[in-house]
Amino acid sequence: MGYDRAITVFSPEGRLYQVEYATEAVRHGPLAVGVKAKDGVVLVGEKRSPHPMADLDSLKKILLIDDHVGTAIAGLHADARKLIDQARVQSQINRLSYDEPISIPSLVVNICDTKQMHTQYGGVRPYGVSLLVAGVDDHGPQLYTTDPSGSFWGWKAAAIGKEADIVRDLFAEEYKDTLNLDGALELAIKGLLKVTDKADVPPAEKAKTLEIGKIDTKNKAFKTLDQKEVKAVLEDRLAA
């Protein structure tokens, strides 16, 4: 009945349809998962080619925000790029102002403040992307999700994107608070491959469609694995 024509109009049920449409864009995006361990955090994301001729190496699913924090994307990459650029600037402002890395909750709140503003003003639309934000700060390993509405939650293990509910159910069954970083990586890959795996795909080919990022509490440096390292992880998993 036209309640979705503008972001500022509530339906009689109190719903903002434009926000729900943005959330639906996230649900159709390639899957990304994150698992927090006692000594770090792992992110794993699926890359999906928009066309057979597209170069998958040019697509980035996991990106660095600051030395101690990275993010995985589900939804519209153009929207994610804008939010990540803003997050990078905010991280550097914090370093210049306070001479210390930004805390993960502060960074997430800043991102979500921007998302929320785009749900209450005319002439804009909500950001059609969710972010998994993972890092290590003074409070240890941190894992958060941000929604198009501007809401955020901290997680022990989380999934965003297509069929994320199935992966979250797996995490609820198999997650343990005693997981180390290697165990978290194994669980994250298991969760992602549960809904994306195709039979008889060799590790070398599978590595082209996966990205892995991780950070530990010792070095506090977020690292994205290259394709050879991802292939080695998948081969070790098959050999185990």
Are residues 24 and 39 in contact, defined by beta-carbon separation less than 8 angstroms? no
pLDDT digits (tens, 9 = 90+) for 107-124: 999 999 999 999 998 889
- On the CB side of 160, CA atoms within 13 Å amount to 30
Q: For residue 130, which phi and psi values (nearest 5 degrees)?
A: -115, 150
Overall number of domains in the chain: 1
Residue in 152, 147, 84 with CA at minimum distance from that of residue 118: 147
> Considering the entire predicted model, what is its pTM?
0.94
Q: Is the pLDDT of residue 240 over 70?
A: no
pLDDT digits (tens, 9 = 90+) for 72-112: 999 999 999 999 999 999 999 999 999 999 999 999 999 99
Residue 24 to residues 21, 199, 202: CA-CA distances in angstroms? Answer: 5, 28, 32
Q: Considering the domain boundaries, does residue 66 fall inside one?
A: yes
- On the CB side of 54, CA atoms within 13 Å amount to 13
- On the CB side of 150, CA atoms within 13 Å amount to 12
Q: Considering the domain boundaries, does residue 5 fall inside one?
A: no
Q: Considering the domain boundaries, does residue 1 fall inside one?
A: no
**Domain that residue 77 falls in:** 17-239
Q: Considering the domain boundaries, does residue 125 fall inside one?
A: yes
* Residue 1, pLDDT score: 62
Q: Considering the domain boundaries, does residue 7 fall inside one?
A: no
DSSP category for residue 5: S
Q: Considering the domain boundaries, does residue 23 fall inside one?
A: yes
Q: Considering the domain boundaries, does residue 8 fall inside one?
A: no
Q: Considering the domain boundaries, does residue 10 fall inside one?
A: no
CATH code for the domain in which residue 143 is found: 3.60.20.10
pLDDT higher at 55 or 95: 95
